[in-house]
Amino acid sequence: MATSSAPTRIRYRIIVLIFIITVINYADRATFSIAGNQASLELGLSEIQTGFILSAFAWAYVLAQVPGGALLDRFGTKRIYAGAIAIWSLFTATQGFAGWLPGVSAVTMLFVLRFCVGAAEAPSFPGNARLVAAWFPGPERGTASAIFNSAQYFSLVTFAPLMGWLAHDFGWRSVFWVMGALGLLAALAFVRLIHSPVRHPSINAAELEYIEAGGGLIRMEDAATGPREATFTRANLAKLLTNRMLLGIYLGQYCINVLTYFFVTWFPIYLVRERGLNILEAGFAAALPALCGFVGGVAGGFMSDRLLKRTGNIDLARKAPLVVGMLLATLIIGCVYAESEWMVITLLSVAFFGKGVASLGWAVMSDVSPRQLAGLAGGVFNMFGNIAGIVTPIVIGYIVATTGSFDGALIFVGAHCLLTIFAFLVIVGPIRRLEIA
């Protein structure tokens, strides 16, 4: 541990690494949305088959959230998270061999492999939330959570053009191979650089005191050297699933993620099929809304923390940006009536900026999760939120297949933005940490 009197700022290095890992995480989720149109043509996939393949990730991601969160609580963040990165990267790379395995259909292989990627990624966001809860005091958690959550947008800013170029020049299979290799490198970096606050070799006592005084759970990982008491029990789940505040937060996160999953599944395909762009153009066109989402995400977290510092009112600080952001996000419905490509991109950019501003769910979970059930609570939260990843690709696939248009899909997504506001303003009630015996 460093001994200088001025507080170190190691927590900033931690959030940068979490951000980079989450950028790769979301890029791996979006691989098939970029490669999917080209792969569908080569492999003869229908819209409905494509919708099910796009949803496969979320089926496993949802089912594995609670066990994944419980594993984090029991065995510690570092070991579980590092293993998860390596495993999902291997499954990502293997998707590039779809259609080459004798006796196994491409549809089956892609569905199973994306299912496996979803299961492996399950501990990632609960792990992020645990790291933020351990490394950041309360007045900085909104910004820290917004930074890692905004990685979902920055991943497409960074990787959509790259993946579009790879698919265009080297074929769709190269997208999976390159992203898988990058993920394995990220796993090695995580093992080397991530530690709990009390175990980090470069942090000093002043920073530890600052974090702990602000409510940071710096000793969350103290028992990481061995198994801890299991938190995945019926009694603990009942405490989380019968609390009105948490149920409202879960519903709100589901609704926000409808927009997220439209963006990482059908959005590039929408640009190609409905708006006439080629795959390379779609990759670059997706970058502008993604960049706006990233800016909105960071801005929303910053505004939320500033409000909290000025007013001391956590309800106002978390809910005000969320309401404003979701109202902006409803502008996605305007794409139904837009004629030109530039207007579509503009409306989508504003919508994703708003969605970014509103993406404070993980900050709220850092504020409300029971101290001894942080991983489990995060897993349940992410499980409910990512049910949208099952519903959204399939519903949109059926809408497009039956109507021949994405108009109904855009209205479906926009309506969920309004439902998010209802969930947080009417159901959640006062935001406070849930204390359990």
Within-domain flag for 206? yes
Q: Please indicate, yes or no, if residue 168 is contained in any of the structural domains.
A: yes
Question: Domain for residue 60, yes or no?
Answer: yes
pLDDT at 3: 57
The number of distinct structural domains making up the chain is 1
Instruction: Return the pLDDT at 4.
Output: 57
Say if residue 1's pLDDT is above 60: no
| pLDDT reported for residue 224 | 46
Does 155 fall in a domain? yes
Q: Is residue 436 part of a domain?
A: no
| 168-192 residue pLDDT tens | 888 888 989 999 999 999 999 998 8
Residue 117: how many CB atoms within 10 A of its CB? 28
HSE-CB at 414 with a 13 A cutoff on CA atoms is 19
Residues 247, 385: Cα–Cα separation, whole Å = 11
Tell me, what's the pLDDT at 164?
A: 83
- The pLDDT value given to residue 225: 47
* 421 token code pair: 């506001």
Helix (H, G, I), strand (E, B) or coil at 2: strand
Checking if the pLDDT of 383 tops 90, the result is no
Residue 434 falls within a domain, yes or no?
Answer: no
Q: CA–CA separation, 251 vs 428, rounded Å?
A: 9
CA dihedral of residues 144, 147, 149, 155 (deg, nearest 10) = -150
Q: Mean pLDDT over all residues of the chain?
A: 84
Across 104-116, average pLDDT:
88
Half-sphere exposure of residue 72: CA atoms within 13 angstroms, side-chain side = 33
Tens digits of residue pLDDT in 402-417:
888 888 999 999 999 9
Residues linked to residue 2 through DSSP beta bridges, in sequence order:
204
Measured in whole angstroms, the distance separating CA 206 from the mean position of its chain's CA atoms is: 32
Instruction: Tokens for 14, please give them.
Output: 């931690």
The label of the residue with tokens 């409510």 reads 215
Domain for residue 224, yes or no? no
**Which residues are CB-neighbours of 433 under 8 A, at least 6 positions away?**
367, 368, 369, 370, 371
Q: At what angle do helices 10-29 and 77-94 cross, to 10 degrees?
A: 30
Q: Is the dihedral of CA 35, 338, 359, 385 positive or negative?
A: negative
Tens digit of pLDDT for each residue in 43-65?
888 878 887 887 888 888 888 87
CATH number at residue 255: 1.20.1250.20
**pLDDT band, residue 325 (cuts 50/70/90):** very high
pLDDT attached to residue 268: 76
CA distance 225 to 14: 21
Which domain covers residue 297, as residue numbers? 10-219+230-427
How confident is the model over 327-373, as pLDDT tens digits? 999 999 998 888 787 888 889 899 989 998 988 887 888 788 887 77
Asked whether the beta carbons of 358 and 420 are under 8 A apart, the reply is yes
pLDDT at position 147 is: 82
pLDDT per position as a tens digit, 265-298? 787 778 877 777 776 777 677 778 878 888 888 8
Indicate whether 106 pLDDT > 60: yes
Residue 393: pLDDT over 70 = yes
Dihedral sign for Cα atoms in the order 391, 395, 398, 404: negative
User: Residue 261: which of 85, 119, 59 has the closest Cα?
Assistant: 59
Reply yes or no on whether the pLDDT at 319 is more than 80: yes
Is residue 4 in a domain? no
Q: Which two tokens stand for residue 18?
A: 């979490």
Share of the chain above pLDDT 70, in %: 96
Residue 44 is predicted with a pLDDT of 82
The pLDDT score that the predictor gives to residue 50 is: 80
Sequence-ordered alpha helix ranges (H) in 30-105 = 31-43, 47-75, 77-94
Average pLDDT for 316-333: 93
How many residues are there in the chain? Answer: 437
Name the percent of the chain lying above pLDDT 90: 24
Mean pLDDT of all residues in 204-224: 77
